[in-house]
Chains A and B, each alone.
Chain A
């Protein structure tokens, strides 16, 4: 049984990522060069190994000390917020600013504790209108407001 899971898993994360960087340098054969003429692989290889070793030390410490459990992931906000964000990015070009913002807000609103349909709908429309005013008219960012095939600009 792990006595300090928080530090243990942090250590695992650092060790895995650190050594992964070092291994990638070797696998993809980034040139190491010499100390006076460092190649593209030199610095990342050294850093990756440093981080990997740090991760191992953290794991070692975690096994000797007692600490806190990793609290449960809040999957609900995590999934809804991030997926809303990604979907926004994917449809922004096709659907235009207004529709993609409404979609973003509606999906993200499921991440909250209490979901209120009407409130989310009103918020999405208000935010879409405000964004068009600020970013398209105010800051003149090159965003299409509506889907291209509608020809509304």
Chain B
């Protein structure tokens, strides 16, 4: 316990320097901005800004990028409540009851509930992260290559659960990601693979190019295809911000349950903010005595998913920081950010770079506080932004993407690769192939190969090592179970229903 507080004190001493405070603020504001704007999400934004963080110290870079991620959860809920357009997929369910509340003239209460619930959840999850990380890292040190390999299998399978549509297609997308990740020099033998004599490809395909092409450019083309829909801004003035006593009484249970569920689902590989918000909403509906009010402006329908998505956004840093394994595509980009800064993600980060580790955790709490303080007064401004037509918006996104990619290596090569992945990403849209699992596979590809090789070397070529080592066997068993469960017809139907609301 004492250790925990001295660690947090160290963290706050890093996070509270003027510089880092500023980067935290910039990250949170940017996150809220892209959360508000539909058509651009945290993945594309973080990919866009990665190159700009080259010159920053690692603490500042990661603090800012983390701020973008959890800031987006706040921003997404604002538009979900006010105009029934969820800026992020994690706030899709918030729109169900939040927008109804707004229509009943209780937009202020809904926004405040979302903000305060998120803040509460963020605080709890931050402490959870601080408390759970050191023991988990200790366990991680005991992991051998076989366990790492099996853990990655579990993470990838879990990503399939989250993907829309066909399970088989999602698995194929993961394998495609793994394969694309293998392009470039093989670390073991030094041999260049799949580079076709192109010197730039010996370093592999840049993940910024992949992420930005698929999640940035393809998204722009998709949006342009759909045309500039008129966004009705139904409410510009928000009054009565503070929820009533009755509201507090109604929603505290939902906030607590949402926080708990969100924290748990965030840690799980493949989990994250989207899953957490869906699960929390479903749970509240199941537990409520009068479920009839859900969908008609029940405050619990706002409190639970908002707490859950924010808690999950925080705790999804746990596998990244303790095991070095990203549980979702945003965390996969954080791995990239760390590698760019010369940091190998994994349990050693905590011991070798305590300022970075604890500074980042402390900054998350500060960021959450900033978001509550800033967001409520700034709501009017965010709403104004929504009236900007997309034809003004997309050139700006393109310019930032272009500068971001070009500055990776100051050569046109990455720009061309990004454009190619823009085309590929658009093809995926047309074929209904969900791209998120691909990105996860792409980051994990080289790590998986490395651990597979080491595990097989240690076992002298006996693949049974993955099932005879108890921890590894458990992880694989869970993966198999997950795969069987989602293939079952009954669950499959449920899963499709859950995504229909999307």
Contact = CB atoms under 8 A, between A and B. Distances in A.
Interface residues of B, number: 67
B213 to A, nearest CB: 9
A118 B198 CA distance: 41
Contact of A92 (B168, B391, B406): B406
B415 A10 contact: no
Contacts of A47: 175, 178-179, 182
Contacts of B172: 10, 14, 18, 51, 54-55, 58
Contacts of B498: none
A101 B227 contact: no
Contacts of B221: 74, 77-78, 81-82, 111
B189 A135 contact: no
B399 A18 contact: no
Given A6-B432, A70-B431, A84-B398, A77 B412 contact: no
B193 interface: yes
Contacts of B166: 7, 58
B194 A92 contact: no
A113 B168 contact: no
A6 B414 CA distance: 30
Contacts of B459: 36
A131 B399 contact: yes
Given A104-B402, A135-B403, A37 B457 contact: yes
Contacts of A40: 186, 188-189, 191, 193
Interface in B185-241: 186, 188-189, 191, 193-194, 217, 220-221, 224-225, 227-228
A110 to B, nearest CB: 11
Contacts, number: 201
A38 B456 contact: yes
A51 B453 contact: no
Which interface class (under 10, 10 to 19, 20 to 34, 35 or more) fits A? 35 or more
A34 B224 contact: no
Given A88-B415, A104-B398, A44 B168 contact: no
B249 interface: no
Contacts of B427: 13
B449 interface: yes
B191 A30 contact: yes
Contacts of A51: 172, 175-176, 179
A17 B182 contact: no
B193 A30 contact: yes
B452 interface: yes
B391 A39 contact: no
B407 interface: yes
A133 interface: no
B224 A86 contact: no
Interface of A: 6-7, 9-10, 13-14, 17-18, 21, 24, 30-31, 34-41, 43-44, 47-48, 50-51, 54-55, 57-58, 61, 68, 70-71, 73-74, 76-78, 81-82, 84-86, 88-90, 92-93, 97, 101, 104-105, 108-109, 111-114, 116, 119-120, 123-124, 127, 131, 135, 139-143
22 contacts: A17-B176, A17-B179, A21-B194, A31-B191, A36-B456, A44-B179, A57-B168, A77-B225, A85-B419, A90-B412, A92-B406, A108-B398, A111-B224, A112-B228, A112-B391, A113-B227, A119-B391, A124-B395, A127-B399, A139-B55, A141-B51, A143-B403
